[in-house]
Amino acid sequence: MLVTGASQGIGSAVLYGLARAGHAVLGVSRTKPEQLPKGATWRSLDLSNAAGVEEFVSTLESSALRALVLCAVDYGEGGRHPAAGMSAKEWQRVVATNCIGHCVLVSRLLPRLLANALAIVVNISSDVAVLPSAGRAAYAASKAGLHAMLRTVAAEHASDCLRVYQLIPTFQLATHGLRRRRPASFDFSSYADPAVMAEVVGQVLSTTGDAIAAGTYLVQRDGSLNPFAEATQL
């Protein structure tokens, strides 16, 4: 299994959760995690560099890849600010990382995933992918782009054994990324632990018991999943 954004936040929690469950898991990020759980390996990957993502995939060992969990994110500059104030550099970096880097990674890894009897892609999506969110235009555009790309991939492979899950948290989680964006005195007591999402990802990836149907889900704070009704026709 391959996890992006493995150095911190939800990605790190997912890496630990999957390793604890006995899966062989490869984490990728730009910064090496200070510690790695037993059973996990790590490689450097900068998703903002599409050519680097292609190069990374070409050097991956040929061992089977059963699942891809997309957790990496660039939230953009500072706090919320209107679209009119976003620099070209910010647009470029946020969309390149969250959307294009992940799109290249998914598309290049699809043949390997489809070589399995069952393959799973999990995207930690966001409410901003499906709802307007003032002051977060670059983040929203990047998340909506990846969300749409994965719906298309799911449709292209509807008859294959590929399950695509898009998980939209309905609550906030106290991750490194969000901590950096809040004042030092901010009270995070109402924010959940990233382990909540790791638990949900573990359930979705589980092949024991009844499989959760592929699709988009709203994740509740207690870890329960409510199907999200995406538009399927106009």
> What does the per-residue mask of binding to ligand NAP show for 73-112, with x meaning CB under 6 A?
xx----------------------x---------------
Residues whose CB falls within 8 Å of the CB of residue 211, separated by 6 or more in sequence, listed in order: 163
216 contributes a contact to ligand NAP by CB under 6 A: no
52 contributes a contact to ligand NAP by CB under 6 A: no
Q: Find the binder of ligand NAP among 121, 164, 173, 200 (CB under 6 A).
A: 173
5 contributes a contact to ligand NAP by CB under 6 A: yes
Q: Are 2 and 109 in contact (CB under 8 A)?
A: yes
Select from 127, 25, 136, 16 the least CA-distant residue to 79.
136
2 contributes a contact to ligand NAP by CB under 6 A: no
As measured in angstroms, the least distance from the Cβ of 3 to ligand NAP is: 9
Distances (CA, A) of 98 to 18, 36, 61, 104: 22, 24, 24, 11
- Nearest 5°: CA angle at 100, between 94 and 101? 90
Q: Give dist(CA 8, CA 67) in Å, integer.
A: 19
53 contributes a contact to ligand NAP by CB under 6 A: no
As measured in angstroms, the least distance from the Cβ of 74 to ligand NAP is: 4
List interacting residues with ligand NAP (CB under 6 A).
5-11, 29-31, 45-48, 71-74, 97, 124, 126, 143, 169, 172-173, 175-178, 194
